[in-house]
Structures are given as C-alpha cells and as structure tokens.
Structure 1
Amino acid sequence: MRYYPINIDITDKRCVVLGGGGVAERKVESLLKCRGRVTVISLDLTPRLKELLSHSKIQHVCRGYQRGDFEDAFLVFVATNDSMANTEASLEALEKGILVNTVDTPKRCNFIVPSVVDRDDLVITISTSGKSPALAKKIREELETSYGEEYSIFLTIMGAVRERLLKASNNSEKNRKTFYRLVDSNMLDFIKEGKKDKVDSILLDALGEGYSLDELEIGI
C-alpha cells in the first residue's frame, strides 16, 4: 500500500490510547508532546503513565474497551494484548471514520506511524510503507548521527529571526536571501561547538544590530 505523507495538528484534540503498557506509554508521550488531549483506557498503567496521571497530564478510564469509547475522538491508538478487543476497537474507529492505528496490525489501520528523528521543531520521518520497519529504524539511526541537538537550537534562532525580520521589513526578496545566507553559514557548527561569539558575529553580519543571542533571548 502507498501511504500519503502528512503532518496533523492534534492540539487540544481528543486522542484515545487503548492499553496501558510500554507501547501505549510511548504513544501517549508522543501525543502529549504534540499537545493532544489524551485519554488512556486500561485496567493497568505503567509507572510512567501513573506519573502522568498524577500530574493531570492524561485522563484515565480504569477498565477494558467498551463500544462507544471513541465518541468525539479525533485519533485512536489500539495497543492492548487482547486481540479480540483490539479487533472490535479498531473496527469501531474505522466505522466512525476516526484516525486509528492498531499496533502491529496494518490491516486494522487507516494510518501508520513512521520512524521519526525528532529535534523539536525539526522532525524527519522515514517510512517503508510498512514493508520493513527494521530498515526504517536503520535509516533513522543513521540520520540521528547527522542531525544532532544543534538543529533544535538553530531552528529556535531562525524562528525568532524570522518573526522579527518579517515585522521589520516587507521586502520578501531581501528577506529570502537573508534566510538562505543564515542557512548556508557555519552557524550550525558554531552552535554545536558552543561558540556563542561566532554565532553572534554571523547574526550581526547578516542582520545588523538587535539580533544577538542575548537580544533574541536564546542560549546555547
């Protein structure tokens, strides 16, 4: 099957995770990172899920699956060790047109989750359309060595610069050249090496006064 790649905004949307084990925990963590409103349905929870519940990060329904659990749900992960419950739950979600992923059962899904390199705002996804998760993992591990945490800081800088620059100037062609100049600079290397003065020098040369890391309130 050929899947269409897409990024979805789940901010404040009801996301249901059926199951309370390790796989469910990973799904919950990823949903919370993207600001989903998460409900976990399970008799048992991992220690981490209990911690999230104690801090009111998730809602918990302490029982197994029941038909009707997915009312108003935007997205569902089915991740229990009960194959019959998994089948019934995924069928309900599919019938209602809800986005559903049944872990390790592609035929019960209308979307799959790619392998991800996550550097905050930089998100690189790798998919083999379900044919070889092992290859997707191998490629992800290779990319993780090339795209380190410095990319997260770089994007924070670029986001702050972009916001200020677009307010200060409506010259789109000039702004475009400035953005590419920063991307093509050695800033990433200097961030990785912790050379704040070098980063400030690049920002000053490209943008002039008012764009130092201190003025942007960004640390490296």
Structure 2
Amino acid sequence: MLDTPFYIACLKLTGRRCVVVGGGSIGLEKVEGLLACDGRVVLIAPQAEPELEALAQEGSIEWLRRPYETGDLEATFIAIAATNDTDVNIGVYNDAERRAMLVNVVDVPPLCNFILPAIVRTGPLAIAISTAGASPALAKRIKAEIAESFGEPYARLAVLLNEVRGWAKGTLPTYQDRKAFFEAIVNGEPDPVELLRAGDETAVRALIADAQRAHEPATA
C-alpha cells in the first residue's frame, strides 16, 4: 500500500446509504464517523455494542440484526467491513468491487479501495492525516499535535470568512480578485487567528469590513 498514490477527496454523504458490517467497537467507531457526516447508516450484525443498539432504538441508524448477505450492498454508496471473520470481510469486498463502489475492510489494506485517514474536526474545519496505512499510531500522534495547533480559532475564522463569500462572489468579478481579497485577510496584519485566540472577534470582523471597503468598486 505504501507504493499506492491515494487520491485525497472529501465525500458528501448526506442522505446516502452507508453500510457498516460488524457490531463491535470498531463498527461503532465507523458508524459514529458516518453519522457525523449525515450518512444514512445501515448496520448489519447479529449482535451489536450497547451504544449501537441505542442508536438503532432512537432511529439514528437502521440495524439489520443478522449476518451479512450477498445483495446487502444494493443502492449503497459506501461499505465498511469491521468483523473478525475473514470470509465475511472478503465477501463484502468482492460484492462491493463487483458494483464498483467504495469499500474498506478495517485493518486489511489489500481489501480496501479507499482508506480512512485520522481526522481532526472542529466546526467546519477538517484536517486529514494519512500514513497510507503504514502506521496508525503515528497518524494518531500527528492528529493530537495538529488538534493542539489548529483548533477553535481557525474554525471560527473559517465561519467568519464564509459569511462574506456571497458578498465576494457578487462584488468581485474574477476568481483572482476573490482570492486576493481572502488572502489579504488570512495573511494580513494583525493576524486574525491571533486576534481570535485572544477572544477579540470584533477586531476580526473589523478587519473583514475594512477589506470589503478596500475592494468595493469605485463610484462615480
């Protein structure tokens, strides 16, 4: 897998059927990750962790309380196999490959056509860390360090900048104009991230307003 160049992408899962096979602790972790991205999660397992049972009882997931069967992946966008049964995992992989769909068998890189990076998620900000499967332990350490360095101030700045995206698109005529506008704020002085770390959101809003005035078209 280390020789495989992975194409990094962010998937929109809202409303899409996502199947998790396996009701253990790893299955729980994968279900929670899919739910966090608004996936329509279907769990397939004869037994499941209490937390998964609770999610099914409250209607957050659909639980098919039985072993996996060929055909369970119909109309499915993504499948994750998290069982300790090699035959079941291979079956899920083969079924998914026949359908040319996304599939990941946990901790078995040859039975994956995508891998799941470690994710640092704060508000709209998501940072992915991948070692191409070489060392999950190293990815975990990097995740902790990144989470400490790039946390709430960066996420809050993303929200504030998103608030003026509509203005920028309606006011600034070209992509290069919009790029220059946002880069002047993000990389300008005073540093908006440092202002947010200090709790001074008002000053950041003032920076953005100043940048808007500077980029307003001249009036006759």
Deviations along 1:85-126, one digit per CA (max 9) or x if unpaired, are 222222222232221100111111111111222223322222
In the alignment, residue 144 of structure 2 is paired with which amino acid?
E
CA-CA distance at 1:45 after TM superposition: 2.5
Deviations along 1:172-197, one digit per CA (max 9) or x if unpaired, are 54433221111113211222222233
Is 1:144 the counterpart of 2:147? The answer is: yes
Q: Which residue of 1 aligns with 2:210?
A: 205
Cα distance in 1 for residues equivalent to 2:174 and 2:200: 31
Q: Which residue of 2 aligns with 1:63?
A: 66
Cα distance in 2 for residues equivalent to 1:109 and 1:45: 23
In the alignment, residue 212 of structure 2 is paired with which amino acid?
L
Task: List aligned pairs for 1:70-149, cutoff 5 A.
Answer: 70-149=73-152
Question: Which secondary structure state, in structure 2, belongs to the residue aligned with residue 130 of structure 1?
Answer: coil
Q: Which residue of 2 aligns with 1:54?
A: 57
CA-CA distance at 1:38 after TM superposition: 1.0
In the alignment, residue 37 of structure 1 is paired with which amino acid?
R
Deviations along 1:125-147, one digit per CA (max 9) or x if unpaired, are 22222122222222222211110
CA contact (8 A) 2:160 2:205 kept: no
Tell which deviates more after alignment, 45-54 or 59-68.
45-54
Q: Which residue of 2 aligns with 1:213?
A: none
In the alignment, residue 126 of structure 2 is paired with which amino acid?
V
Is 1:195 the counterpart of 2:200? The answer is: yes
Q: Which residue of 1 aligns with 2:25?
A: 22
Change (3 A) 1:5 1:204: closer
Cα distance in 1 for residues equivalent to 2:25 and 2:192: 39
Cα distance in 2 for residues equivalent to 1:25 and 1:164: 42
Cα distance in 2 for residues equivalent to 1:93 and 1:153: 39
Q: Which residue of 2 aligns with 1:179?
A: 182
CA-CA distance at 1:42 after TM superposition: 1.3
Q: Which residue of 2 aligns with 1:212?
A: none
TM-score by length of 1: 0.85
Q: Which residue of 2 aligns with 1:154?
A: 157
CA-CA distance at 1:20 after TM superposition: 1.4
Identity level (%):
36
Is 1:44 the counterpart of 2:47? The answer is: yes
Tell which deviates more after alignment, 161-170 or 64-73.
161-170
Cα distance in 1 for residues equivalent to 2:10 and 2:198: 32
- Unpaired runs of at least 5, structure 2: 214-220
In the alignment, residue 192 of structure 2 is paired with which amino acid?
M
Cα distance in 2 for residues equivalent to 1:87 and 1:175: 48
Q: Which residue of 2 aligns with 1:35?
A: 38
Question: Which secondary structure state, in structure 2, belongs to the residue aligned with residue 11 of structure 1?
Answer: coil
Tell which deviates more after alignment, 173-182 or 151-160.
173-182
In the alignment, residue 201 of structure 2 is paired with which amino acid?
K
- Unpaired runs of at least 5, structure 1: 209-220
CA-CA distance at 1:159 after TM superposition: 0.9
In the alignment, residue 111 of structure 1 is paired with which amino acid?
F
